[in-house]
Chain A
């Protein structure tokens, strides 16, 4: 951090240094701009704890807006020439216009749209490149003011401002599109879950109907057996009644109960969609949620992401075996929540590699994998994990204290 505080000083020194050394004004401008961009990126990374690409995007956007501010300032100069020392006037007017532009931006909620756009993980690099290219283009375009003849300058400056407004509009448009696609995805997820749940209930409904039918016949038989005094036959029929119920309806009702105990909407959503996926891929699943799960001692989305990673991994490993199955156990106790995901596996496991593989091996939409899981947990001292692999069963456990 200390170097960060010194960086403005370093940037100033570098500009002066270049001034002395280089004659090529444009090259000098580029180099000092580059340093300023780098310095601002580092400041943003530190101040808002963002990663490099997002910070750089933000700084480029800021650069584009700054070009507009400078253009506006120059415009004012042109229209109202002043006798004050040029530098002081320049600073004052620039500051004034920066404030005006900032107020306009916050009133139009540009910031929240921009932040939203930065959440698009898939397209982040493209957005950064786009913003960088736009920033460089605008800066170069602005530099060209030296070549514009006097009477065209006003139009030139106005053009610059208009261009920046158009670029901002483009950014907001991209953010809108991203938002729409996210909503669409979320809706599709909800639909998939509802369908899964509906199918589950439909199965129960069918079972109830056929059970009612069989039940009536069985009862008639029992009535008759009782009338004829055939106690042994009676007993075995009664036993069969109970077993039949368990085999068909009982299990399904039990599963509804377990799912019903998931009282955190995001967790339930994720689980249902993963279970639906298991069903499609013929992976047997077993879910146990003995007590209602109402809260977790960590950020809900982090927990959901961890759960997703564990289930994805379990599914992937299980699919390599002959009879794939995944078992999920959630136990809510006062003060903590246990999560356990188990699956069979056949390939030889290398513990070091498993945890250290780079994130990208899983592919863009696939999620973060085990290293991502570990990274998330690093931020939670109240969470402990346990991993074991023996007898062909891989078990992942997570304990989160409140």
Chain B
């Protein structure tokens, strides 16, 4: 049973949305229920303790000095990390990229009188499809935090970790990204186990991404990235590769 929560200071809008939702739920027989229709942020937050994958329809322009749409979304994301956030806006132009990226907001709906019903319906359908897809086993992820943003990188995509010129920072390389974050190679080595080999004080390389090794010149290629091998690194390589290379 997935809970749906509404928060908008306009009662007419809440009523419209709730009606549309309940109709859609009934029609498609979703395992969802509208739990709360709050007029302000505080009312909503009182009800939500730590929900499981709730769906939240939030007004972007909440007239509350402490909670605006974005901050409310942040707080909900904190309490219910896997929730779905949908924003309701009267103008159709919100800072959408900011919401999408920093809150992982799912979608937004414009408060046009004719449009609300169908938009909400369509939105719920898409949410349902996504929830179904999520049920399957997610790929193994490497998680790193940069401030409030938590990034998940599929472990299978990572080529290597290396030390960054900035003190206490590391660089993570995949085939299409380069991430600089706070971390220590020693900790990562322990955390990640056998899939990664510490070939040098400054390099932690994915075992399955090693393309070529040049032992004479102490070099190794993980994908297109060239790395150095230290003496201890060579021993690690031999141990983990089982002498087959």
Contact = CB atoms under 8 A, between A and B. Distances in A.
Contacts of B166: 377-381, 383
Interface of B: 70, 91-93, 95-98, 101-102, 112-114, 146-149, 151, 164-169, 173, 176-182, 224-226
A401 B93 contact: no
A23 interface: no
A379 B101 CA distance: 27
Interface hub of B91, B180, B181 (most chain A Cβ within 10 A): B180
A290 B164 CA distance: 31
A352 B175 CA distance: 12
Contacts of A329: 95, 97-98, 101
B97 A327 contact: yes
A364 B167 CA distance: 30
Contacts of B148: 333, 336
Interface stretch (A69-77, A129-137, A266-274, A384-392): A384-392
Across chains A and B, which 8 residue pairs bring their CB atoms closest together, nearest first? A388-B177, A288-B95, A390-B176, A387-B178, A378-B165, A385-B180, A290-B95, A336-B147
Interface hub of A288, A351, A374 (most chain B Cβ within 10 A): A351
A286 B94 CA distance: 12
B92 A381 contact: no
Given A239-B113, A352-B225, A399-B147, A384 B180 contact: yes
Nearest to B173: A351
Interface residues of A, number: 43
A331 B102 contact: yes
A399 B91 contact: no
A246 B111 CA distance: 12
A94 interface: no
A254 B149 CA distance: 26
B96 to A, nearest CB: 8
B92 to A, nearest CB: 5
B169 A381 contact: yes
B102 A338 contact: yes
Interface in A63-105: none
B65 to A, nearest CB: 14
Contact of B91 (A250, A286, A379): A250
20 contacts: A235-B113, A239-B112, A239-B114, A243-B112, A250-B91, A288-B95, A288-B97, A327-B97, A331-B102, A333-B147, A338-B147, A355-B178, A378-B165, A379-B166, A384-B180, A386-B146, A386-B177, A386-B178, A387-B177, A389-B176
A150 interface: no
A328 B225 CA distance: 30
Nearest to B177: A388
B102 A384 contact: no
B93 to A, nearest CB: 5
B135 to A, nearest CB: 25
A265 interface: no
Contact of B181 (A327, A352, A384, A390): A384
Contacts of A258: 95
A384 B182 contact: yes
Contacts of A387: 177-179
A251 interface: yes
Given A290-B70, A374-B165, A384-B181, 12 more contacts: A288-B97, A290-B98, A331-B98, A333-B147, A338-B147, A340-B101, A351-B224, A352-B224, A352-B225, A378-B164, A386-B178, A388-B177
A254 B225 CA distance: 44
Given A384-B146, A386-B146, A351 B225 contact: yes
Contacts of B176: 388-390
A250 B112 contact: no
A297 B165 CA distance: 19
A229 interface: no
Contacts of A288: 95-98
A335 interface: yes
A160 to B, nearest CB: 48
A227 interface: no
A77 B226 CA distance: 67
Interface string A359-389: 0000000000000001001111101111111
A256 to B, nearest CB: 12
Contacts of B181: 384
Nearest to A331: B98
